[in-house]
């Protein structure tokens, strides 16, 4: 058990003894470390509910609290915070536990859950927009963290490979296709076809009908249209895969919308029979009468022309997932604009008897410097491939300037790590629900809360080790002794790694891991300034080298959980 968890257990029994609801026993790292290392606001929360004086309640909790083996005598501060200052011996012990543990102190969950994470999910032959970029980065990180904590994770890329866009694409393919362009840049060519037909349709109602007919033919299994569809999906997927490869992202499943096509009609019939859905003006809807949020917003599952909808596919998808994986939770990582869609799907699923924990992991937008939705100069959606190449290119300029003596190949390798890391980190460090302004300069800076800053902290530690090795100093992992204040601050941060991962997963907020790593690097720099490592000798040096080594391990591991790699030099 982590120190934080142990303290929570102790507080819980003190609350019980004081006759207070023990679920209030939440112990957190202190915000202001002058008052202590950990704190709990249990007395304040309880006082509010019981209409009592919080400081008096805190005193009464203290009289039942036994932590003398772990901390100095706890104190009450402010409006009723109880503060804990951990004994150096306790801290060393916890730290040495992390040191001797291949998992860096990360304790797997007691009862693993099966979590399906539905993320990335771009649409074939439609431009991938920045929403897909955020989904890709965020979903991948959440999957990594959930796995690290011992959950069973199934990642599924629910690509949009069966939408109405195919009427346009097929018509364009038959009449406007540039085979050479398709060969060179398939997605761009498919998007071009889509756009051209789309705008031609606008002042040509006849064309609209023809295009719709192509779609109907596809849906009815016309061999020619089916073949075009297959090729378009395969070409798009190839390009998506290249990007996922670059980003080091993999999926367990890639069950796109088309996979569920045959399940849609029977599903709607079943929902009608079970009186979950009803006919309304020729269409089929699920009504949520009496629901304050959804009363006026029925979920449409079949249009009056017989066509099915995004929601219909999501319901079929959920049924399939329920049967195949029996998940405890399904997480849908998509932008905030899809909130209503998921509320409707989840509410319908409840009616169907699904009890799984369904969550829409929503996120905000990426904005351009003008604070409007990020677009390219010509006003189009920013394309992920171009964005990543630019990141690598810009990183290369920085790397070449800072490391002229690295070989060209090495420079390129480091630039890839830095450039891609910078893009991912800039996204993950934000609270996912906030919109943020995309800025190359900020994200590639070696100062501040950025990936290069953290990667650089790692590199610095590695160079300390190289130096030690060059001087014949042993770098063997040794017992850690805490003496200096800066050492203590770093040690406290290190033992909190496991707890942070739990908090991150609870609200699906990797930005808390970013913040943790940033603080870790910061405390390391302070430690390194205050405490000579190589120049000290004997046990102190061995201890400090071990502390530095642990910091590097957590930086590498923590960044890895964000999908970001570290270079050995930069």
CB 191 within 8 A of CB 152: no
Residue 160 binds ligand ARG (CB under 6 A): yes
List, in sequence order, every residue forming a beta bridge with 28; answer none if it has no partner: 39
Structure tokens at 24: 């209030």
- The minimum distance between CB 508 and ligand ARG, in angstroms, equals 15
**Rounded CA gap, 107 and 252, in Å?**
25
CB of 123 to ligand ARG, least distance (A): 5
Whether the CB-CB separation of 149 and 108 falls below 8 Å is answered with yes
Residue 158 interacts with ligand ARG (CB under 6 A): yes or no: yes
Least distance to ligand ARG, CB of residue 535, Å: 55
d(C-alpha 149, C-alpha 538), whole Å: 37
Nearer to ligand ARG, 121 or 493 (CB): 121
- Work out how close the CB of 135 gets to ligand ARG at its nearest, in angstroms, rounded to a whole number: 7
DSSP E strand stretches across 180-308: 278-280, 283-286, 299-302
Backbone angles phi, psi at 280, to 5 degrees: -150, 115
**Binding track, positions 219-258, relative to ligand ARG; x by CB under 6 A:** ----------------------------------------
Q: CA 144, 148, 151, 156: dihedral to nearest 10 degrees?
A: 10
Helix (H, G, I), strand (E, B) or coil at 141: helix
Choose between 334 and 411: whose C-beta lies nearer to ligand ARG: 334
Contact between 118 and ligand ARG per CB under 6 A: yes
| Least distance to ligand ARG, CB of residue 277, Å | 19
Is there binding between residue 314 and ligand ARG (CB under 6 A)? yes
**DSSP E strands, 223-334:** 278-280, 283-286, 299-302, 329-333
Q: Does 194 bind ligand ARG (CB under 6 A)?
A: no
Question: Taking CB under 6 A as the criterion, which residues in 501-520 touch ligand ARG?
Answer: none
Q: How far, in Å, are 67, 302, 360 from residue 351 at the CA level?
A: 49, 17, 18
- Among 60-68, 98-106, 117-125, 395-403, the segment contacting ligand ARG (CB under 6 A): 117-125
Query: What is the β-pairing status of strands 357-361 and 329-333?
Result: parallel
Q: How far is the CB of 233 from ligand ARG (least distance, A)?
A: 13
Considering the complex, state which of residue 297 and residue 525 has its C-beta at the smaller distance from ligand ARG: 297
What is the side-by-side order of every strand in the sheet holding 299-302?
278-280, 283-286, 299-302
Q: Which helix (H) or strand (E) holds 366?
A: strand 366-367
Site string for ligand ARG, 322-351 (x = CB under 6 A): ----------x-x-----------------
* 129 versus 462: smaller Cβ distance to ligand ARG: 129
Q: Is 166 in the site for ligand ARG (CB under 6 A)?
A: no
* Interface region with ligand ARG, contact rule CB under 6 A, candidates 116-124, 144-152, 365-373, 447-455: 116-124
356 near ligand ARG, rule: CB under 6 A: no
Closest by Cα among 550, 50, 134 to 366: 134
Q: Which of 8, 41, 90, 123 binds ligand ARG (CB under 6 A)?
A: 123
Task: Choose between 72 and 319: whose C-beta lies nearer to ligand ARG.
Answer: 319
Q: Name every residue whose Cβ is closer than 8 Å to that of residue 178 and which is 6 or more positions away in sequence.
A: 189, 192
Residue of 79, 83, 36, 42 whose CA lies nearest to 61: 42
Smallest gap, in angstroms, from Cβ of residue 176 to ligand ARG?
24
Q: Which residue has the tokens 């060209």?
A: 408
Size of the site for ligand ARG (CB under 6 A): 9
Among 121, 365, 411, 449, binds ligand ARG (CB under 6 A): 121
What is the nearest approach in angstroms of ligand ARG to the Cβ of residue 544? 48
**In angstroms, what is the minimal distance from the CB of 130 to ligand ARG?**
11
State the binding string over 263-302 for ligand ARG (x if CB under 6 A, else -).
Answer: ----------------------------------------
Q: Quick one: which of 100, 70, 98 has its CA closest to 4? A: 70
Cα 327 to Cα 153: distance, rounded to the nearest angstrom: 9
Residue 553 binding ligand ARG, by CB under 6 A: no
Which tokens belong to 116? 């399906």
Give the binding site for ligand ARG (CB under 6 A): 118, 121, 123, 158, 160, 314, 317, 332, 334
């Amino acid at each position: 058990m982590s120190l934080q968890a142990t303290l929570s257990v102790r507080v819980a029994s003190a609350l019980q003894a004081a006759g207070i609801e023990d679920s209030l026993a939440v112990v957190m790292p202190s915000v202001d470390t002058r008052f202590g290392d950990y704190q709990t606001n249990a007395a304040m929360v309880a006082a509010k509910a019981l209409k009592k004086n919080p400081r008096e309640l805190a005193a009464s909790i203290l009289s039942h609290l036994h932590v003398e083996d772990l901390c100095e005598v706890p104190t009450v501060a402010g409006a009723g915070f109880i503060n804990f200052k951990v004994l150096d011996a306790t801290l060393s012990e916890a730290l040495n536990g992390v040191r001797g543990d291949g998992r860096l102190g990360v304790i797997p969950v007691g009862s693993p859950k099966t979590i399906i994470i539905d993320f990335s999910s771009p649409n074939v032959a439609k431009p991938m927009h920045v929403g897909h970029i955020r989904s890709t980065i965020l979903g991948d990180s959440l999957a990594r963290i959930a796995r690290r904590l011992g959950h069973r994770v199934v990642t599924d890329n629910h690509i949009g490979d069966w939408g109405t866009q195919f009427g346009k694409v097929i018509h364009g393919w038959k009449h406007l296709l540039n085979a050479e362009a398709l060969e060179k840049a398939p997605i761009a060519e498919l998007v071009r076809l889509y756009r051209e037909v789309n705008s031609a349709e606008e002042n040509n109602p006849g064309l609209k009908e023809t295009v719709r007919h192509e779609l109907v033919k596809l849906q009815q299994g016309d061999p020619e249209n089916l073949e075009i569809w297959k090729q378009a999906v395969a070409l798009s997927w190839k390009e998506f895969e290249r990007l996922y490869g670059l980003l080091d992202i993999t999926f367990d499943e890639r069950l796109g919308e088309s996979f569920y096509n045959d399940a849609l009609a029977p599903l709607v019939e079943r929902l009608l029979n079970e009186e979950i859905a009803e006919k309304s003006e020729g269409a089929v809807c699920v009504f949520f009468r009496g629901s304050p949020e959804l009363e006026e917003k029925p979920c449409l599952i079949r249009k009056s022309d017989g066509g099915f909808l995004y929601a219909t596919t999501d319901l079929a998808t959920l049924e399939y997932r329920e049967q195949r994986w029996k998940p405890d939770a399904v997480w849908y990582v998509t932008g905030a604009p899809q909130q209503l869609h998921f509320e409707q799907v989840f509410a319908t699923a409840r009616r169907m008897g699904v009890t799984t924990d369904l969550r829409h992991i929503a996120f905000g937008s990426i904005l351009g410097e003008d604070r409007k939705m990020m677009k390219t100069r010509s006003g189009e959606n920013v394309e992920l491939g171009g964005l990543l190449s630019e990141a690598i290119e810009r990183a290369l300029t920085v790397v070449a300037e800072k490391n002229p003596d690295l070989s060209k190949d090495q420079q390129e390798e480091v630039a890839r790590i830095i450039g891609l890391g910078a893009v991912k980190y800039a996204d993950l460090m934000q609270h996912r629900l906030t919109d943020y302004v995309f800025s190359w300069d900020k994200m590639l800076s070696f100062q501040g809360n950025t990936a290069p800053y953290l990667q650089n902290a790692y590199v610095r530690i590695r160079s300390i080790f190289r130096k030690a090795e060059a001087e014949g100093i042993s770098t063997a992992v040794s017992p850690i002794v805490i003496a200096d204040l800066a050492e203590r601050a770093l040690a406290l941060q290190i033992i909190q790694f496991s707890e942070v991962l739990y908090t991150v997963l609870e609200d699906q907020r990797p930005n808390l891991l970013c913040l943790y790593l940033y603080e870790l690097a910061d405390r390391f720099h302070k430690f390194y300034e205050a405490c000579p490592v190589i120049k000290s000798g004997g046990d102190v040096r061995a201890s400090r080298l071990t502390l530095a080594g642990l910091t590097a391990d957590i930086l590498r591991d923590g960044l890895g959980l964000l999908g970001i790699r570290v270079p050995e030099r930069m």
